[in-house]
A = this chain, B = another copy of it.
């Protein structure tokens, strides 16, 4: 270690560990009191519904709330124990060994893992700052590639923080219709937008209740809290019903207590203000992260996101690059990051993901300064 590094590790708050790795909210932006109240209200309003088995479609009042939000009949909706469980069910239905699946490069590591474990033939398509390279998708289709599924995280993508443009959304839906594949619109971050204007979902562009080529997934992990483990799918009733049968065979029903609490919270008075507080805090954190990166790591390139949890940093290529060394040097300085290699089948050696969702705004500068030192040490 250099002298400068020793300095940072002994100076009070400077030494505090900072995790840019955790894609989760800090507890100060979770409305714990609101959840307590929602739990009271939910048990009082519907003791039988909360405590009984229920069915695999989910807690019926919550299912109806979600259907109304998306303007579809309830038969299009299935509520699950977190949206990753929804992904798993959908993959189990649509992906068998050899099934071709298109996904973004980079993308969420657990999605890649889930697809590879099922033996999918995963083809990764370049992710640009305005979303997946749709003409690269069109080119693959023109070459005869026949995907069953195209997975995208359209809004504030994990790991990049990028958002798919309207034009590209329209083009993807058009391609899905022409070539008869399903767009899996994996959209857990959409409701934590802190700047810019919302875009229509591909579910809507494909006709909402009439959609045949989009399965939409979302979650309350980012708007309420992750520990409540409530996510959902919206899609064509035939697909949703296949998932329902699979879910019944797996767990009879998802968590009625948790879904009842979510329903009471969403329909209660506190939700709008609490969501605003989440967005405001995330916006502050990303603003400070943007500033600190420009100051301490000026060679980094990144796009400041308009919402979500993540920002993707690319460094100039250099001889013998190895992001694992940066990760290790950062860890030695109490700073956790996730290497770009985790989100790709190959490459990513000059990149890493920074999650700002769990970092207090006052810790950002110190974390980025130590990260810059780690980059210098790894390349020194």
Chain A residues in contact with chain B, CB under 8 A?
24, 27, 30, 32, 35-36, 39-40, 43-44, 47-54, 81-82, 84-85, 88, 110, 113-114, 117, 221, 225-229, 249-258, 260-261
A104 to nearest B CB, angstroms?
19
Residues B27 and A48 in contact, CB atoms below 8 Å apart: yes
Take A52-B27, A250-B84, A251-B82 as given contacts and tell me if A40 and B43 are in contact as well, using a CB distance cutoff of 8 Å.
Answer: no
Please give, as numbers and ranges, the residues of chain B lying within 8 Å of A39 by CB-CB distance: 36, 39-40, 43, 261
Residues A24 and B52 in contact, CB atoms below 8 Å apart: yes
Q: Give Cα A116 to B260, complex, Å.
A: 33
Cβ-defined partner of A47 (8 Å) among B27, B49, B228, B258: B27
Residues B225 and A51 in contact, CB atoms below 8 Å apart: yes
Please give, as numbers and ranges, the residues of chain B lying within 8 Å of A251 by CB-CB distance: 81-82, 84-85, 88, 229
Residues A229 and B257 in contact, CB atoms below 8 Å apart: yes
A122 to nearest B CB, angstroms?
15
Cβ-defined partner of A258 (8 Å) among B82, B110, B253, B258: B258
Residues B226 and A52 in contact, CB atoms below 8 Å apart: yes
Residues B53 and A24 in contact, CB atoms below 8 Å apart: yes
Residues B32 and A47 in contact, CB atoms below 8 Å apart: yes
Please give, as numbers and ranges, the residues of chain B lying within 8 Å of A227 by CB-CB distance: 49-54, 253, 255-257, 260
